[in-house]
């Protein structure tokens, strides 16, 4: 190691502090050790391209477990002056590979010095200062430096951590403070009013020669239930048939008779309260039943008449059908389920596909990391999303077969890369059934039958619970249902296969009929306002978590212009012929329509084994030619021309031209 001869003179020490690195550079002076307390440290001289004080030597960094090992590495040291200046100043990004796990030393004219931890280096320096500020003798100075060197050996360096790439920010669950606290309603029936209602109820039944006694009263958030115990020999039907008369005597807009109450030998008469107690979303999210449930798809729904929190677990349902008229609370229920998932599951645990044909209900969820694709607002694109879900279901089952497991829970227990649950929410199903009923119904049916085990679940909502929207085959495969207030007994039977929903009060009053239950239970749904939803979604969006939409889903549901052009220009494996040329199946399709007397895309799909898009184009072509009429909802198109006219004008056109 080279030595540089310099005239002996007292030189100041160089103690530079770099707070951002939590380090202090300590260099040995010519005589004595001087404290290096610096309140506002200036940049090191070599950081500005200068030499060390009173030295013509450029500092060079060496690495080793000891000073001797570092000094022995002098022959292998780098000659990159700029890099060594940066290294000496504490910037080790260019020399990380050489220095991993080893202390650093600076070669100066005074010897091999260490770059140390701030507090320990200062302690080593200050401990050996003389009281009078005079330089210590040579022996003390050597001991102090040796002590400082030993303290450096015990410090674990963290240079490698500083050079690692920053990891993705972790998902932080929204705090409860973003939600409004529960508000208690003071205007409720007094005990005297309740006793008066009980006497009125008993007297009304007695007037109709029905002997029954009120044995209990339960006041819920929206209704009060009176428990009747009929006398021996009194038929239950005699009480049920008096529902309208009971409502009249109680001055109630309507009553619902529950006969019998599950688990009790009593008949329930449910009458609405004067004012409803709002069930806040905050108290539902923070309840023990939701918090302690390990399922990522367990969310709170509301409270029953007894004030008990009702939860639903989509993993067990496994699909949910929600129906109710406008203003009944259907959309609020959907938002409650989605917000509950965001409070329960991280984006890598649950993914969402949201379909909102009404455009205004679910679009505020755009930008949250849980989404696989931006909120779909077009009914035709929603059909594509359902078909992607079917393909994803088949792909997952193939992975299960390869790993010899039966469901997603067993797969995630042994797989390194976990499969997320997928929840598909359709806010208005009737629009989809009107635009592409065959495609939508087929995809929903396949998902309802098979998707439970692979972690794909559906929530279907509609405000028009008619049989052409909730078909028998759909209802048979979605056993879990929620009915809000509907306008008629027929609509109630369409949803629940029984009456009762026509007696509901609206504003979140629902009948919850889960899979496995003998009869539905009355629940007051939790209320979450638009302001609360915006605060929750804004909190999630501001976490700087990258929103990574699935390219696979996006390409299927929202294809780019180039993809659309490529699709239109290709035959798609015989399923999508060029639009500039006439489809080779057109003549056969016309003959089939003539034989059947009507036309529909689903019929052409089955007969010719083609895709929906091609079948729909064939029907549209026949409409342009004037052969069939326009679409009339879900009904087949009518034939407008006679067989003879169609054959003369279209099917035998080429032969006719040849004879002219």
pLDDT band at residue 626 using 50, 70 and 90 as cut-offs? confident
Query: What is the pLDDT at residue 115?
Result: 52
Query: What is the pLDDT at residue 463?
Result: 86
Q: Contact 59/84 with Cβ under 8 angstroms?
A: yes
The mean-pLDDT minimum among 129-138, 174-183, 338-347, 386-395 falls in 129-138
Considering the entire predicted model, what is its pTM? Answer: 0.61
CA-CA distance, 517 to 497, in Å (whole number)? Answer: 13
The token duo for 175 is 């705090």
CB atoms within 10 A of CB 39: 5
State the DSSP code for 50. Answer: P
Gyration radius of the chain over CA positions: 39
Query: What is the pLDDT at residue 40?
Result: 41
- Burial class of 96 by CB neighbour count within 10 A (0 to 12, 13 to 18, 19+): middle
- Can you name the residues that pair with 426 across neighbouring β-strands? 355, 460
CA distances, 432 to each of 9, 330, 357, 381 (Å): 91, 18, 8, 10
CA-CA distance, 92 to 85, in Å (whole number)? Answer: 10
Query: What is the pLDDT at residue 581?
Result: 55
- Can you name the residues that pair with 351 across neighbouring β-strands? 422
- Coil, helix or strand for 570? coil
Longest CA span, the chain: 127
pLDDT band at residue 337 using 50, 70 and 90 as cut-offs? very high
CA-CA distance, 14 to 34, in Å (whole number)? Answer: 9
Q: Per-residue pLDDT for 327 more than 60?
A: yes
3-state secondary structure 402-432: HHCCCCHHHHHHHCCCCCCEEEEEECCHHHH
Contacts of 113 (CB under 8 A, 6+ apart): 25, 26, 27, 28, 105, 106
CB atoms within 10 A of CB 564: 10
Which of 137-141, 456-460, 630-634 tops mean pLDDT? 456-460
Q: Contact 255/269 with Cβ under 8 angstroms?
A: yes
CA-CA distance, 433 to 460, in Å (whole number)? Answer: 12
- Coil, helix or strand for 146? helix
**Domains of the chain and any CATH numbers:** 14-163 (no CATH), 191-272 (3.30.980.40), 281-540 (3.40.50.300), 571-659 (1.10.10.10)
Q: Per-residue pLDDT for 350 more than 90?
A: yes
Length of the chain: 660
Tens-place pLDDT, residues 423-474: 999 988 888 887 777 778 888 989 998 999 999 999 999 987 887 788 888 8
Short-list 542, 540, 534, CA closest to 180: 534
The token duo for 364 is 């505020």
Average pLDDT for 149-173: 54
The packing angle between helices 601-608 and 612-624, to 10°, is 120
């Amino acid at each position: 190691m080279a030595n540089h001869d310099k005239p002996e003179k007292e030189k100041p020490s160089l103690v530079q502090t770099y707070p951002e690195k939590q380090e202090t550079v300590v260099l040995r002076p010519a005589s004595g050790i001087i404290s290096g307390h610096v309140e506002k440290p200036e940049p090191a001289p070599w950081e500005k391209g200068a030499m060390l004080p009173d030295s013509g030597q450029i500092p060079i960094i060496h690495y080793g477990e000891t000073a001797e090992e570092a000094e022995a590495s002098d022959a292998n040291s780098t000659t990159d002056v700029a890099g060594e200046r940066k290294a000496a100043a504490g910037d080790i990004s260019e020399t990380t590979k050489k220095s991993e796990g080893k202390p650093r030393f600076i070669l100066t004219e005074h010897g091999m010095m260490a770059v140390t931890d701030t507090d320990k280096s200062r302690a080593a320096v200050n401990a050996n200062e003389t009281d009078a500020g005079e330089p210590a003798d040579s022996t003390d100075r050597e001991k102090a430096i040796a002590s400082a060197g030993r303290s450096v050996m015990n410090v674990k360096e963290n240079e490698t951590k500083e050079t690692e790439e920053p990891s993705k920010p972790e998902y932080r669950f929204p705090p409860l403070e973003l939600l409004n606290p529960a508000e208690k309603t003071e205007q409720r029936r007094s005990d005297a009013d309740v006793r008066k209602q009980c006497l009125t109820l008993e007297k009304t039944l007695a007037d109709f020669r029905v002997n029954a006694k009120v044995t209990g009263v339960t006041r819920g958030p929206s209704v009060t239930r009176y428990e009747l115990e009929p006398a021996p020999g009194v038929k239950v039907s005699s009480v049920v048939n008096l529902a309208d008369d009971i409502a009249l005597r109680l001055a109630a807009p309507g009553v619902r008779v529950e006969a019998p109450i599950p688990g009790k030998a009593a008949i329930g008469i449910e009458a609405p309260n004067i004012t409803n107690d709002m069930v806040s979303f905050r108290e539902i999210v923070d309840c023990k039943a939701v918090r302690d449930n390990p399922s990522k798809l367990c969310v709170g729904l509301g409270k029953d008449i007894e004030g008990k929190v009702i939860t639903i677990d989509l993993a067990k349902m496994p699909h949910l059908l929600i129906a109710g008229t406008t203003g009944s609370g259907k959309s609020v229920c959907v938002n409650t389920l989605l917000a509950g998932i965001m409070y329960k599951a991280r984006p890598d645990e649950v993914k969402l596909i949201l379909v909102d044909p009404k455009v205004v209900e679910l679009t505020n969820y755009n930008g949250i990391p849980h989404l696989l694709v931006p909120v779909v607002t077009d009914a035709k694109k929603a059909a594509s999303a359902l078909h992607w879900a079917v393909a994803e279901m088949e792909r997952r089952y193939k992975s299960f077969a390869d790993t010899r497991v039966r469901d997603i829970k067993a797969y995630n227990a042994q797989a390194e890369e976990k499969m997320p649950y997928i929840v598909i929410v359709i806010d208005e199903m009737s629009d989809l059934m009107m635009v592409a009923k065959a495609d939508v119904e087929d995809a929903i049916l396949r998902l309802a039958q098979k998707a439970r085990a692979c972690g794909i679940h559906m929530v279907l909502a509609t405000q028009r619970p008619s049989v052409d929207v909730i078909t028998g085959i759909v209802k048979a495969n979605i056993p879990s249902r929620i009915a809000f207030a509907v306008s008629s007994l027929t609509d109630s039977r369409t949803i629940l296969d029984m009456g009762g929903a026509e007696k509901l009060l609206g504003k979140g009053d629902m009948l919850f009929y889960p899979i496995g239950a003998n009869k539905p239970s009355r629940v007051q749904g939790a209320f979450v306002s638009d302001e609360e939803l915006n605060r929750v979604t804004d909190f999630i969006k501001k976490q700087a978590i990258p929103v990574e939409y699935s390219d696979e889903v996006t390409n299927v549901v929202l294809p780019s212009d180039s993809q659309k052009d490529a699709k239109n220009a290709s035959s798609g494996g015989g399923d999508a012929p060029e639009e500039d040329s006439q489809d080779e199946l057109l003549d056969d399709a016309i003959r089939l329509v003539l034989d059947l007397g009507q036309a529909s895309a689903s019929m052409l799909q089955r007969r010719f084994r083609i895709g929906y898009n091609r079948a729909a184009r064939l029907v549209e072509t026949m409409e342009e030619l004037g052969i069939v009429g326009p679409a009339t909802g879900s009904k087949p198109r009518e034939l407008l021309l006679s067989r003879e006219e169609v054959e003369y004008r279209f099917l035998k056109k080429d032969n006719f031209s040849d004879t002219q």
